[in-house]
Amino acid sequence: MTSKTTDLQQPTILSYVKDIPNLCSLAGLACTMLAIYFCIIGVYAAAMIGMIWAVAFDWADGLVARRMKGRTGTDSSFGGQLDVLIDIVSYGVTPAILLLSYGGFSPLFLIGAFLMVAASAIRLSYFSTFGLAGGTKYTGLALDNNSILIVFIVLFAGFFDKDTFAIILYACCLIITALNVSEIKTPKLSGKPMHVVILGIYTLTITALYSWQLL
């Protein structure tokens, strides 16, 4: 009888889609999918716009969740799990596909791509286990910084031929990957309104610059 009662009270899977923070997370995932698509077909300016907007929606979901009233512990737990799964796609898989695309999908670049995804998985697993160091700082470079840095780096692609820039991007990605799994302590930026405003300005600036390239 208890088992049947529990089953009846358990919410449906899709009921969580109505949660506004989860909708923000899914909007970020949509941006990520667009970024992956444009990476594959080589329209990098559009891919960069998708990548930075994925970060913006990622930060927005946490901000909205903290301001909403009436969310249960289950709502928060589900949202946290959803965030982790989307993060590995947004900040691990997407940069890896960008690197592969710039490298002409060469097996040599596959090594770097694997390291990026593996480091993302390890980094997220570590955070899920231990949380913030001292309650305020991340251990290792937080994954959202991957996209924030990469969209800036790619702005300089026009100063080099594609093969040369592919090597530069490879080196930068490896450095970022090493920082992801390092022992450095970095502050949690996404929870503070001022940092969200700064990210908003950065997102709009990056969007404008890459939109200009697409014209």
Domains and CATH numbers, the chain: 18-214 (1.20.120.1760)
Give the position of tokens 């923000």.
24
Q: What is the mean pLDDT of residues 170-197?
A: 89
* Helix, coil or strand: residue 139: strand
The pLDDT value recorded for residue 8 is: 55
Is residue 191 predicted with pLDDT exceeding 90? no
The pLDDT value recorded for residue 18 is: 83
The pLDDT value recorded for residue 131 is: 85
The pLDDT value recorded for residue 57 is: 93
The two structure tokens encoding residue 90: 């947004």
The pLDDT value recorded for residue 192 is: 73
Phi, psi of 44 (to 5 degrees): -70, -30
- The three state secondary structure string of 3-63 is HHHHHHHCCCHHHHHHCHHHHHHHHHHHHHHHHHHHHHHCCHHHHHHHHHHHHHHHHHHHH
CB of 58 closer than 8 Å to CB of 144: yes
Summarised one tens digit per residue, pLDDT across range 69-100 is 767 778 788 888 899 999 999 999 999 999 99
The chain-wide mean pLDDT, for the chain, equals 90
Q: What is the mean pLDDT of residues 199-211?
A: 96
